[in-house]
Amino acid sequence: MTALTAASGSAHAAILGVGAYRPRRVVPNSEVVDAIDSSDEWIQQRSGIKTRRFAEDDETVPMMSVAASKQALDAAGIAADQVDCIIVATVSHLMQTPSAASLIAHELGTTAAAFDISAACAGFCHGVSLAADMVRAGSSRHVLVVGVERLSDITSPTDRGTAFIFADGAGAVVVGPSDVPGIGPVVWGSDGEHYDYIRQNHDWRDVIASDDPQMPHLIMEGSAVFRWAAFEMAKVAQEALDRAGITADQLDVFVPHQANNRITDTMARSMKLPDTVRIARDIVDAGNTSAASVPLALERMMAEGEARSGDTALLIAFGAGLAYAAQVVTVP
């Protein structure tokens, strides 16, 4: 047998820079309530959401991704041609193939490896884990991870359970080599028994075969998702702390998927997070942007001084699949 040369990477990986793109159009609850017989008060009380952003025609998945990526690259001090791989987490790039990532790579001016991953709201944290492993294994030195959604394209404005929740935006990070561990072990998994809890309402083949084809949209069993997220995900978050070798009182920042403020509150209580831990609340004016929600929330906390360089942050994302991933990271 001929011996092959093995790849070898950096001892450790870290997030080197964070970027975000928030669509221009701010949509208050008053714009969505009539079609779902709801009220601003109900939406704020049940979810925490006051406003969200909906992308306009030119704010496409690639356009928002490129804007967030440029900001992340600038923050990291890395040029696009130093990126070896681009991972894009999304469920709302409405071209089955090719990937959004290859177009984003081209628009950034690089021929880096590029592919999309489909893990719904958990996609970004999956991407960060892959990127960290790639940097450590040596298949890439710098990896750009993007979480991006235009959920307004696949949300029905008349669906009471989702119309007020889902929204649009993009977030990105650069993952690269580090002298010390900056991305802790991932805790991830899937619970396919509940595949139906959050899903596209119709398979494309059924849509095409229908006499009255309609754009498919997301549907969700809200209460079941709520219970799963609030209770099961607190255990996953705790396990991510344990695997990183830290306790809750060593945490500075908690950045959970921005699904619902009440889910965040329940998780924080179950984990007995001390009051000193600063908690992301981007959902209030971003809504639930699925794969984009964790990097958007992190970027905002950094921009507002709530998350500072060197802080220890717990990330957790969860959603359709059901899929989840959590890790502790150092804020760049």
Q: Which range touches ligand COA (CB under 6 A), out of 13-21, 34-42, 182-190, 268-276?
A: 34-42
Q: Which of 12, 35, 42, 115 binds ligand COA (CB under 6 A)?
A: 42
In the complex, least distance from residue 284 CB atom to ligand COA, rounded to whole angstroms: 14
Q: Based on CB atoms, which residue is closest to ligand COA, 322 or 331?
A: 322
Q: Identify whether the C-beta of residue 141 lies closer than 8 Å to the C-beta of residue 78.
A: no
Q: Identify whether the C-beta of residue 282 lies closer than 8 Å to the C-beta of residue 82.
A: no
Q: Provide the token pair at 182.
A: 């900056």
Q: Which range touches ligand COA (CB under 6 A), out of 41-49, 65-73, 144-152, 167-175?
A: 41-49
Is 288 among the residues known to form the active site?
Answer: yes
Binding positions for ligand COA, 197-216, rule CB under 6 A:
none
Q: Based on CB atoms, which residue is closest to ligand COA, 36 or 175?
A: 36
Phi, psi at residue 163, to the nearest 5°? -60, -30
**Residue written as token pair 């179950």:** 270
Which of 121, 125, 142, 260 is catalytic? The answer is 121
Which of 29, 260, 261, 288 is catalytic? The answer is 288
In the complex, least distance from residue 236 CB atom to ligand COA, rounded to whole angstroms: 14
**CA–CA gap between residue 11 and residue 262 (Å, rounded):** 39
Count of beta carbons in the 10 Å neighbourhood of residue 193? 8
In the complex, least distance from residue 210 CB atom to ligand COA, rounded to whole angstroms: 27
- Enumerate the β-bridge partners of residue 56: none
Q: Which of 123, 169, 176, 319 binds ligand COA (CB under 6 A)?
A: 319
**Residue written as token pair 């965040």:** 264
Indicate the burial class of 68 (C-beta count within 10 angstroms; 0-12, 13-18, 19 or more): buried
Binding positions for ligand COA, 226-265, rule CB under 6 A:
226, 229, 259-260, 263
254, 201, 282, 266: which is closest to 228 by C-alpha?
Answer: 266
Q: Based on CB atoms, which residue is closest to ligand COA, 181 or 319?
A: 319
Is 29 among the residues known to form the active site?
Answer: no
N-terminal to C-terminal alpha carbon distance within the chain: 44
Is 85 among the residues known to form the active site?
Answer: no
In three-state form (DSSP H/G/I as H, E/B as E, the rest C), the secondary structure along 235-293 is: HHHHHHHHHHCCCHHHCCEEEECCCCHHHHHHHHHHCCCCCCCEECCCHHHHCECHHHH
Using CB under 6 A as the criterion, what x/- string covers residues 125-164 for binding ligand COA? -----------------------------------xx--x
* 222 is a contact residue toward ligand COA (CB under 6 A): yes
Q: Which helix (H) or strand (E) is 226 found in, with range?
A: helix 222-227
Q: Based on CB atoms, which residue is closest to ligand COA, 105 or 122?
A: 122
Phi, psi at residue 260, to the nearest 5°? -175, 130
**CA–CA gap between residue 45 and residue 20 (Å, rounded):** 27
Binding positions for ligand COA, 91-130, rule CB under 6 A:
121
Q: Which range touches ligand COA (CB under 6 A), out of 1-9, 82-90, 97-105, 219-227?
A: 219-227
Q: Provide the token pair at 83.
A: 């990126």
Give the residue numbers annotated as catalytic, written as ranges. Answer: 121, 257, 288
Interface with ligand COA by CB under 6 A: which residues?
36, 38, 42, 46-47, 121, 160-161, 164, 220, 222-223, 225-226, 229, 259-260, 263, 288, 319
